[in-house]
Chains A and B, each alone.
Chain A
Amino acid sequence: VQLLESGGGLVQPGGSLRLSCAASGFTFSSSAMSWVRQAPGKGLEWVSGIGGSGGSTYYAGSVKGRFTISRDNSKNTLSLEMNRLRVEDTAIYYCAKKRSTGDTCGFDIWGQGTLVTVSS
């Protein structure tokens, strides 16, 4: 069971970046997924989530209108398109799997994270 993020890097303010998360070892299409970020030396911040089918998406207020979450269940891949990036978006971005379907709270599988740095 594994999640592997990629796509991080250095980008200028106002720029764009696309993160990917490759899933393996579980039924990806049945699993709600999220992106969670952590600024250097700071706590965790939930960024965005998506249902198993991809039909429902959710965003934190800090990224709504700038970030777009999506998934390709045929490729077991989760994505996060980030536009109009700001310095304060600098963080390690983790993808995470909701532990089960239905009414529950907890992300049981996490990737190792990918670092996004927004700087001129």
Chain B
Amino acid sequence: EIVLTQSPATLSLSPGERATLSCRASQSVDNYLAWYQQKPGQAPRLLIYDASNRAAGIPARFSGSGSGTDFTLTISSLEPEDFAAYYCQQRTNSMYTFGQGTRLEIK
């Protein structure tokens, strides 16, 4: 099973700052990596698919990069509504795993 490790576990930033979230895979997943945002009491929301493609309706301040084992989600300038939990997800042979999550909190 491919393990995804997200860092940091918690990130404390202020609105307007840049956020950089990391996701590392235990072995190569090519570009089959997605990022999700989840707010309390809500279902996850797809942000980025296939490592670097923004999903429909996602603001341009969200961007994804990486391939193989190292991936990054960048939020260029934090808005108040961006403070939430973020998860990465990989797909290999039609099986999936998620990272343990990064909690983005207001400093």
Contacts and interface: CB of A to CB of B under 8 A. Distances in A.
Given A94-B43, A111-B43, A46 B97 contact: yes
Interface residues of A, number: 25
Interface string B48-87: 1110000110000000000000000000000000000001
Interface stretch (A10-18, A20-28, A72-80, A101-109): A101-109
Contacts of B55: 99, 106, 108
Nearest to A50: B94
**Chain B residues touching A, majority SS:** strand
Interface string A25-59: 00000001010100000011110010100001010
Nearest to B49: A106
A43 B96 contact: no
A94 B96 CA distance: 14
Given A99-B49, A105-B32, A49 B44 contact: no
Interface of A: 32, 34, 36, 43-46, 49, 51, 56, 58, 60-61, 94, 99, 103-108, 110-113
